[in-house]
Amino acid sequence: MTPETYHLDETDKRILLAMDEDPRIPTMMLAQRLGLARGTVQTRLERLASSGALRPNSSRIKPASLGRGVSAVVSAELDQAHLNEAIDALRRIPEVLECVAPAGDTDLLIRVVARDPDDLYRVSEEIRLCPGITRTSTSMILRDVIPYRTTELLKSV
């Protein structure tokens, strides 16, 4: 089962909404809060995790807390014959937070962080010099206006 084929029922939605409010809530407390059996909550969470529907558990720290207060998106064009090499090289750059392949003229969109504008230039150059990347364009993010979220989406399905 892939995330694209996993269908959430009302119990799944209730669990996910409660976890969105308090991501570190222990399973037993979550079950009590929702009036469900602990085994039910545990089974649902395991099913969501194994299907790939959930992002892997992590303690996500804000990059600014690590001295990386500048954020940017780098769009990259590449020689399609070297796509895998480019992605492998991007994985080795610690400042690369995520990379997606959109439809359209841009081959890759890469979210990066840096210490300051000079460091952003260094990170952008590292990306530009990755095998297979032929051109890049960097846009610095001034502020997050809608951070990553799923609560409203869960409420709408």
Q: For 84-142, what is each residue's pLDDT tens digit?
A: 999 999 999 999 999 999 999 899 999 999 999 999 999 999 999 999 999 999 999 99
pLDDT band at 157 (very low <50, low <70, confident <90, very high): confident
Torsion angle (degrees, nearest 10) of CA 16, 21, 26, 28? -70
The CATH code of the domain that includes 15 is 1.10.10
| pLDDT of 2 over the 70 cut | no
Rounded Cα distance, 11 and 13, in Å: 5
**H helix or E strand, kind and range, residue 128:** helix 117-128
| pLDDT of 4 over the 70 cut | no
What is the reported pLDDT for 114? 97
By the 8 A CB rule, do 83 and 132 touch? yes
Q: For 61-98, what is each residue's pLDDT tens digit?
A: 788 878 999 999 999 999 999 999 999 999 999 999 99
Domain that holds residue 87: 63-141
Check residues 126 and 9 and name the one with the higher pLDDT.
126
Q: Give the tokens for residue 129.
A: 């010099």
Q: Is the same domain home to 75 and 102?
A: yes
**H helix or E strand, kind and range, residue 35:** none
| pLDDT of 7 over the 90 cut | no
Can you give the pTM of this predicted structure? 0.75
Q: Is the same domain home to 45 and 99?
A: no
Residue 88 lies in a domain: yes
By the 8 A CB rule, do 18 and 25 touch? yes
Task: Determine whether 26 is exposed, middle or buried from the number of CB atoms within 10 Å of its CB (0-12, 13-18, 19+).
Answer: exposed
Q: Is the same domain home to 91 and 129?
A: yes
By the 8 A CB rule, do 141 and 74 touch? no
- The dihedrals phi and psi of 114, each to the nearest 5 degrees, come to -155, 170
Residue 29 lies in a domain: yes
What is the reported pLDDT for 156? 85
The total of structural domains in the chain comes to 2
Read off the amino acid at residue 125. E
Widest distance between CA atoms in the chain:
55
**Is residue 70 helix, strand or coil?**
strand
